[in-house]
Structure 1
Amino acid sequence: MSEKKMPKLRSAEWFGTQDKNGFMYRSWMKNQGIPDHEFQGKPIIGICNTWSELTPCNAHFRQLAEYVKRGILEAGGFPVEFPVFSSGESNLRPTAMLTRNLASMDVEESIRGNPMDAVVLLVGCDKTTPALLMGAASVDLPTIVVSGGPMLNGKLNGKDIGSGTAVWQLHEQMKAGTITLHQFMSAESGMSRSAGTCNTMGTASTMACMAEALGTSLPHNAAIPAVDSRRYVLAHMSGIRIVEMVREDLRLSKILTREAFENAIRVNAAIGGSTNAVIHLKAIAGRIGVPLALEDWTRIGRGTPTIVDLMPSGRYLMEEFYYAGGLPGAIRRLGEGGLLPHPDAPTVNGNSLWANCAEAPVYDDEVIRKLDQPLLADGGICILRGNLAPNGAVLKPSAATPALMQHTGKAVVFEDFDHYKARIVDPELEVDASSILVMKNCGPKGYPGMAEVGNMGLPPKLLAQGVTDMVRISDARMSGTAYGTVVLHVAPEAMAGGPLGIVRDGDTITLDCAGGILNLHVSDAEIAERLAARAKTLPSGPKSGYQQLYIEHVLQADEGCDFDFLVGSRGSAVPKHSH
């Protein structure tokens, strides 16, 4: 452990004075059985916990926190655990994305207003990782991420199945009539066999990888299975390290640099990461004050081979990824091929990202492939622009059908998700395999929170004909566990007056991923005329409570869907006391 002298502690503003205020702060804390010496110059380390029985991914965090505490105590700090809003994807309606910003506000104010010198973020389920990093970035204390880890491989008929991905696949097979309802339901109990996040390269695993690639966690944090004892060792070691970070004044702003985000973009392409990373990284960057644009995903990510062979893009699951070498192994492959933009970017353990990965072993070349034998030659997120998406849209090439990534077809339009659900099953629906499914009003404002409904299921009558993929376009998001040739995050969204809102049945649309183009074959004059007419019919009127705040202040997808008043770091200055 570092012997560097402890700097002046922020917590001393609460506990370090011999007056009325110091008396009261210490006295109230002592009702928990805390002895006096714990307040004598020890760093107070907050453990920000998203444990909740309503967030199954994070249901083991009570135990995980205990191991973090062991490390903090061993290193001479004093741990204080506190709860924050747990934005769990699996149960929370209408979508956990609606409350990502709410959770980030909870985190920010909990950290700023309380006596802590540093913070450990316990994250897992999709939105908890970006929410906690966003909130912590707005305060900028020494911060380390401890993820909960992925669940064990799912099992069905003696074979591995991936959480989330199996649901989409089996449901499509049932609609096509190739499996029965009984066969579909039999997968339910075997899909989620342990605590932990989705075991595919969905959004939760993607964001765990992003946290590690950004340098905010210890090596291997992303992939150790949730129930593996090594997950608890990592939690213990993170507790030790956060106390050392206080001595070094290693604040989050020293880790979350422009170079760190560029590394993360490149790593996201290599792992076949979720499109949701585009929104979340932008939001985190916005909080710490780092400029990040959609074009950065094209400039840095495109041309990067996808070398991690995981569902939904590939064959394996997070267990195999960890056993094969985990994220350090994948980063080593990138670095040896000259594809790591900034090897010297610092990380929370005091080493550079490359120093952490340069000797990392790779045990299985099928799971973590060599650069000259990739799963996909170009796995970078495809950024699209055009008259249908003036401010951009995204597509994940590693989950798409290559033949559809340059495609022109006629639009079949759904006004919202309810309209889609009612219309897609109509046997009289005028649609064929070349059609493009277009869904409106599912963006940040339109379906408050921008739900993961963009991977629209295909028309049953086409599934029965053997069609397995079609081009789909919406202003929604999709689960990182999903797949298909799906254009997402169209900005501006329909509800914000974007051109997506004026698409009609039969309109011709061209998708050109290679050229980065998404165009509606309608004249500029007619587009302007349709937009003017639609502006008069856009719904208005108050929602209730938080939803109204969300609709009024949420930024568009290309800006990270943060609230306009939350962008930027407000620092760790101690608020005035009230006594």
Structure 2
Amino acid sequence: MTTPKRKLRSAEWFGTADKNGFMYRSWMKNQGIPDHAFDGRPVIGICNTWSELTPCNAHFRKIAEHVKRGIYEAGGFPVEFPVFSNGESNLRPTAMLTRNLASMDVEEAIRGNPIDAVVLLVGCDKTTPALLMGAASCDVPAIVVTGGPMLNGKLDGKDIGSGTAVWRLHESLKAGEINEHQFFAAEAGMSRSAGTCNTMGTASTMACMAESLGTSLPHNAAIPAVDSRRYVLAHMSGKRIVEMAHEGLTLSKILTREAFENAIRTNAAIGGSTNAVIHLKAIAGRIGVQLDLEDWTRIGRGTPTLVDLQPSGRFLMEEFYYAGGLPAVLRRLGENGLLPHPNALTVNGKSLWDNVREAPQYNDEVIRPINNPLIADGGICILRGNLAPRGAVLKPSAASPELLKHRGRAVVFENLEHYKERIVDENLDIDASCVMVLKNCGPKGYPGMAEVGNMGLPPKLLRQGVKDMVRISDARMSGTAYGTVVLHVAPEAAALGPLAAVRDGDFIELDCENGRLHLDISDEELAARLAALAGTDNGGRGGYQRLYVDHVLQADDGCDFDFLVGCRGAAVPRHSH
């Protein structure tokens, strides 16, 4: 059956017989493009975050070539273009600072160029939300192709997980349990192939979010980066995006309220990163879907974590794929009435349930049955109280169960430098029952809300065998990290949120079951302390950081820029040369 042809956006550039059409076609022909490429076939953009400075995405040139093969096979005209590549591993102070910048790059590149549809090549943490945010603001047909996770890391004949191994080994080093030789022996073996972190960190989480949202083909999230099936998926995605361009299957038809509810439930089932809370909110804001922190409680809480992956569990992304990948998880949820909206539309034109109803399930240890979950309630815990009036988050699957209800004395670090200086002090007045509090690491305070919320414990306590403590901050933490860590406290300290008023010796109560985070001082005392504070002075910064601090929204609003929220569409004013 031949798909009926629609009027394509690119025809405004290449489809006219006047001076403008002449010039647009002529300039493109200097690349050796033949006449028949301009015969009305869809022009498909390949939005590539390849960069050798983003090691997770350094293999994307090869993936892009396979996407092109699929586009050519389906009768499309591929055009590859670069966008800002913000990799978490190298970029300082944090890739989150430039997520919105990358999204602006993507949005304007799509809107301003003769593109009918776009393939989004994503991998390292922030590239997935950034590209989806930018494409959503244009509302063009779009499909996500992820770079895939690395192969399992190896150390002493055992598997180790990227990111997660670093936290564990570093704590062991500080505790004197291993020496420096053992610590550095893991360095080469941890990252032994192309790809993103092989744990359920933010990159794997967001790949799963993209698939559960319906924006990628089935199995996109988990195929290892160096598995030939990753290239097959890239090819098939290129083929499919041409069909989507003809069908007019835009992102607004995929990214519905129902799709986001499916993603929230999926995040709980996979033990996904807390960073998904911020990124899903930002993507939803671009497409015009209202998403609130309470949705994570209403939809996510009570959902069992089925995927036994580090940092919450034992295995790595290789095993996850071999066990059936995300389709197996979605099938297990759907068969037990836990998939909120099985009929949600996906990019292949089928419903989410149609894609997974017969998905194979190969390993009940890696993807557990509903009656034998890794954690009975793995939903992100949303906390509120006088310390976080606009909310905070905690990941129960990465926490110590005995600390999820806790009251302790605050030990306060005013900023990251203060923490680094104070944490190694052998005279620091701290014990295992204390609550570590880190301020001024939120969106405005750092700026960029770095992944420093999972503060390392004091070496003197590590030597005593202490493995976990309650930690609270306005920062984020890596999805590869673990511990009883309260994050994204809003409003942040730099915006004079209540966190700014916490002092050494205050008592703080955490009650995850009831969603409560309480600073044990009177309302009058809290108000008086805040009134006496001047806030963090960000006036010394210029350039992009100035723009960021002036316009970034708080964590509960997704940390997008206030002027970027909303869908602006793909229309551009016509220009006559």
TM-based fold match above 0.5: yes
1:574 positional shift: 2.9
The letter of the residue matching 1:544 is: G
1:262-273 matched pairs, under 5 angstroms:
262-273=261-272
Matched position secondary structure for 2:488: strand
Matched position secondary structure for 1:438: strand
**Which aligned runs of 4 or more in structure 1 are off by greater than 3 angstroms?**
none
Matched position secondary structure for 2:150: coil
Q: What are the ranges of 5 or more consecutive residues in structure 1 without an aligned counterpart?
A: none
1:430-445 matched pairs, under 5 angstroms:
430-445=429-444
Greater Cα shift, 538-547 or 410-419: 538-547
Structure 2 residue aligned with 1:259: 258
Matched position secondary structure for 2:437: strand
1:6 positional shift: 1.4
Structure 2 residue aligned with 1:150: 149
Deviations 1:319-350 (A, max 9, x none): 00000000000000000110000000000001
1:569 positional shift: 0.3
Structure 1 residue aligned with 2:43: 44
Structure 1 residue aligned with 2:536: 538
Change (3 A) 1:428 1:109: same
Question: Quick one: distance in 2 between partners of 1:6 and 1:81?
Answer: 23
Question: Quick one: distance in 2 between partners of 1:114 and 1:91?
Answer: 30
Structure 1 residue aligned with 2:86: 87
1:540 positional shift: 4.2
Matched position secondary structure for 1:571: coil
Tell me if the contact between 1:6 and 1:246 (Cα under 8 Å) persists in the aligned partners.
no
Q: Is 1:556 aligned to residue 554 of structure 2?
A: yes
1:483 positional shift: 0.1
Give 1:566's match in structure 2, choosing from 564, 567, 576.
Answer: 564
Deviations 1:458-493 (A, max 9, x none): 000000000000000000000000000000000000
1:296-335 matched pairs, under 5 angstroms:
296-335=295-334
1:419-458 matched pairs, under 5 angstroms:
419-458=418-457
Question: Quick one: distance in 1 between partners of 2:182 and 2:573?
Answer: 58
Question: Quick one: distance in 2 between partners of 1:176 and 1:426?
Answer: 15
The letter of the residue matching 1:548 is: R
Question: Quick one: distance in 1 between partners of 2:127 and 2:198?
Answer: 16
Matched position secondary structure for 2:332: helix
Structure 2 residue aligned with 1:274: 273
The letter of the residue matching 1:411 is: A
1:537 positional shift: 4.9
1:149-188 matched pairs, under 5 angstroms:
149-188=148-187
Question: Quick one: distance in 2 between partners of 1:384 and 1:195?
Answer: 37
Structure 2 residue aligned with 1:398: 397
Question: Quick one: distance in 1 between partners of 2:12 and 2:538?
Answer: 47
Structure 1 residue aligned with 2:52: 53
Q: What are the ranges of 5 or more consecutive residues in structure 2 without an aligned counterpart?
A: none
1:158-237 matched pairs, under 5 angstroms:
158-237=157-236
Question: Quick one: distance in 1 between partners of 2:311 and 2:364?
Answer: 18
Deviations 1:483-511 (A, max 9, x none): 00000000000001100001000000000
Give 2:545's match in structure 1, choosing from 547, 557, 568.
Answer: 547
Question: Quick one: distance in 1 between partners of 2:332 and 2:6?
Answer: 39
Question: Quick one: distance in 2 between partners of 1:403 and 1:67?
Answer: 49
1:41 positional shift: 0.6
Structure 2 residue aligned with 1:139: 138
Greater Cα shift, 147-156 or 542-551: 542-551
Structure 2 residue aligned with 1:493: 492
Tell me if the contact between 1:13 and 1:574 (Cα under 8 Å) persists in the aligned partners.
no
Matched position secondary structure for 1:338: coil
The letter of the residue matching 2:204 is: S
Tell me if the contact between 1:256 and 1:288 (Cα under 8 Å) persists in the aligned partners.
yes
Tell me if the contact between 1:113 and 1:575 (Cα under 8 Å) persists in the aligned partners.
no
The letter of the residue matching 2:525 is: E
Matched position secondary structure for 1:320: helix
Question: Quick one: distance in 2 between partners of 1:19 and 1:9?
Answer: 18
Question: Quick one: distance in 2 between partners of 1:6 and 1:537?
Answer: 58
Structure 2 residue aligned with 1:505: 504
Structure 2 residue aligned with 1:32: 31
Change (3 A) 1:116 1:179: same
Structure 2 residue aligned with 1:381: 380
Question: Quick one: distance in 2 between partners of 1:479 and 1:198?
Answer: 11
Question: Quick one: distance in 2 between partners of 1:423 and 1:6?
Answer: 66
TM-score of the superposed pair, with normalisation by structure 1: 0.99
Structure 1 residue aligned with 2:408: 409
Change (3 A) 1:549 1:537: closer
1:3 positional shift: 1.3
Deviations 1:284-305 (A, max 9, x none): 0000000000000000000000
Question: Quick one: distance in 2 between partners of 1:144 and 1:186?
Answer: 39
1:544 positional shift: 1.8
Question: Quick one: distance in 1 between partners of 2:361 and 2:309?
Answer: 15
Tell me if the contact between 2:494 and 2:535 (Cα under 8 Å) persists in the aligned partners.
no
Question: Quick one: distance in 1 between partners of 2:538 and 2:120?
Answer: 38
* Matched pairs, number: 577
Tell me if the contact between 2:20 and 2:576 (Cα under 8 Å) persists in the aligned partners.
no
Query: How many percent of aligned residue pairs carry the same amino acid?
Result: 80
1:578 positional shift: 4.8
Question: Quick one: distance in 2 between partners of 1:229 and 1:25?
Answer: 37
The letter of the residue matching 2:98 is: T
1:458-469 matched pairs, under 5 angstroms:
458-469=457-468
The letter of the residue matching 1:216 is: T
